[in-house]
Structure 1
């Protein structure tokens, strides 16, 4: 039996009303307890994918902001060795009172990934009902995209729900699901911003048309703001997932793909996500 690693974990809690003190757990930070220094400590963080509890407690909760905290915490954990202050007290000092961190609790882990999954099931994720409604359309694509990037270990390093208005114009309501920057080398001195958007072509193709319409403005804005080239990727269902549908649905699917490709949007299916995630892993040096 492999020797277990002594760890400690902290629960990340959302507290919409600090006076009432009611909260729901939204994530877990797990780290080795007996590392000789913060430089040697292995630490991981995971947030929930199911925000139903948060929405029940606070219908106006900023879920985009809460999701972005996962990446911020992961980055600070990764860079914590270079800071003279301990990572978790730093987070407690900087996060607002609506997001709190519990006291440390001990655990013994065979490996960090498996222990993190177990802690998420025990303390964070809601109980699954037997007849849970299966996600479809854009929600299913976005969930699969997140799963692949998590499996590759890069989700915490990516930007999420990126406001298109940063690159287009104020008032633009579009949010891009996720993305990351690749600093330029000799062959690409200016760098590349890779953005990924889940687009369902099962029903109508308005989302595909909207992304295609926005692409030139996004491309110009990324070059102006980031001094980088934009590579925009749309993730769609495989064509065979609607192969039993009527001819009209097939025509809409092809129309949506062609509309995006005309604006130099790279279109990939769910079957290509693993390759995209592996590319991100290599480019982000995970």
Structure 2
């Protein structure tokens, strides 16, 4: 009798779950060697293409181990590109695959679909990410430093405020300045008659990024006004000035970077201001 109840409970449990299918997104830097790292998951309810969700990893250490020169910013932008195409109704994966191939020269690949049973898509996505993408063994976590740490914190705060998906990412300066300008601004949004753009800058590292942003700012403002009919508020997000004993030169470099950008009317904030910045974005985007 106990066995029958057990079987009955099992059938009820299965009946309560939805049939889904998922695809793993793999990063393959060298298609000849065919070495790869799973970096994301595409998940959807079976027979409902419009339910498709995408998630990429937030920890790129395994990718960098395989390919030290990997453009992780481009990979993050690809996640956004795929999500936006899915929102626009492109539920056929062929156009999505074409974007991957054109942008990253076949470095991103999708596996064949696999079936699964899920209580709900959100919980299943978390489970699949843990199983196939994130590292499950204990390992030494290397703290992110420099610009990468600032950019990651900026993204996390905007995601926490639920505005990241509404923002433009990797904004090409060349559309506002001139063809060939390689500068890309991390993210931005337009709440009304003003466009706000944000760039992660590490003043403890190379000050060239601060000088480049300062040099480009006037051209960016003129281009935004000309093409968008809006004013530009450009914000640099930097690390806080740490207590530095006997490091006068480092402090002077930090202050030089701040003053260089502020002279060009670039607003300079630290990562500790990001929660407030993200909440402002949330209000301005009417969330």
State the SS of the aligned residue for 2:88. helix
Q: 1:13 and 2:39 equivalent? A: no
Q: Distance in 2 between matches of 1:244 and 1:118?
A: 46
Distance (whole Å) between structure 2 residues aligned to residue 260 and residue 180 of structure 1: 21
Structure 1 runs (4+) deviating above 6 angstroms are none
1:1-286 aligned at under 5 Å gives the runs 6=18, 7-16=20-29, 22-33=35-46, 38=50, 41=51, 43-54=52-63, 63-80=72-89, 86-88=91-93, 90-92=95-97, 95-96=100-101, 98=106, 99-102=108-111, 103-109=113-119, 112=122, 114-126=123-135, 130-182=139-191, 184=192, 188=193, 192-203=194-205, 205-239=207-241, 241-242=242-243, 246-284=247-285
Whether contact under 8 Å (2:43, 2:121) holds in the other structure is no
Deviation per CA, 1:110-158: give whole Å up to 9, x if none: 671x543332232123467633322222221112112222323333443
Q: Which one has the largest radius of gyration?
A: 2
3-state SS in 1 of match to 2:148: helix
Q: Judging changes above 3 Å, is the alpha-carbon distance between structure 1 residues 18 and 201 closer, same or farther for their aligned structure 2 residues?
A: closer
Structure 1 253/60 Cα, relative in aligned 2: closer, same or farther at 3 Å?
Answer: closer
Distance 1:155 1:259 in 2: 28
Shift of 1:169: 2.5
- Supply the distance in 1 between the matched residues of 2:219 and 2:250 (Cα, whole angstroms): 29
Query: Does the 8 A contact of 1:9 with 1:107 survive in 2?
Result: no
1:212/1:18 CA distance change after superposition, 3 Å: closer
In the TM superposition, residue 267 of structure 1 has moved relative to its aligned partner by 1.6
Deviation at 1:264, TM superposition (A): 1.9
Distance change >3 Å, CA 198–CA 62, structure 1 → 2: closer
Q: Higher helix fraction: Structure 1 or Structure 2?
A: 2
Distance of aligned partners of 1:129 and 1:21 in 2 relative to their CA distance in 1, 3 Å threshold:
same
Matched residue SS, 2:232: strand
Instruction: Measure how far apart 1:70 and its partner are.
Output: 1.1
Q: Distance in 1 between matches of 2:283 and 2:117?
A: 31
After superposition, the Cα gap between the structure-2 partners of 1:86 and 1:77, relative to the gap in structure 1 and judged at 3 Å, is: closer
Structure 1 length-normalised TM? 0.75
Which stretch of structure 1 is more off in the superposition, 23-32 or 131-140?
23-32
Q: 1:78 to 1:285 in 2, by over 3 A?
A: farther
Change in CA separation of 1:92 and 1:107 when aligned onto 2, cut-off 3 Å? farther
What CA deviation, in whole Å up to 9, does each residue of 1:5-62 have, x standing for no partner? 6354332233456676554322122344586x83xx4x43222234455556567765
When the two structures are aligned, how many residues end up with a matched partner?
267
**TM-score normalised by the chain length of structure 2:** 0.74
Distance 2:144 2:98 in 1: 38
CA RMSD of aligned residues (A): 3.4
